[in-house]
Amino acid sequence: MLDLTKYQGIIFDMDGTLIDSMGSHLKAWELTCYAFDYPFDYDYMYGLGGVPTLATVDILNEKFGLSHDADAVAEQKHQFWLGLDSKPEIITETVDVLNYYHGKMPIGVGTGADRAHAVDHLTHTGLIDKIKTLVTACDVRHGKPHPETFLTVAKQIGIQPQNCVVFEDTQIGYQAATAAGMDCILVKDGKIQLKT
What amino acid positions are annotated as catalytic residues? 13
* Burial of 27 per CB tally in 10 Å (0-12, 13-18, 19+): middle
Amino acid at 195: K
Give the CA radius of gyration of the chain: 16
Degrees (nearest 5) of the Cα angle 96, 99, 103?
155
Q: Distance (Å, rounded) from C-alpha 110 to C-alpha 90?
A: 16
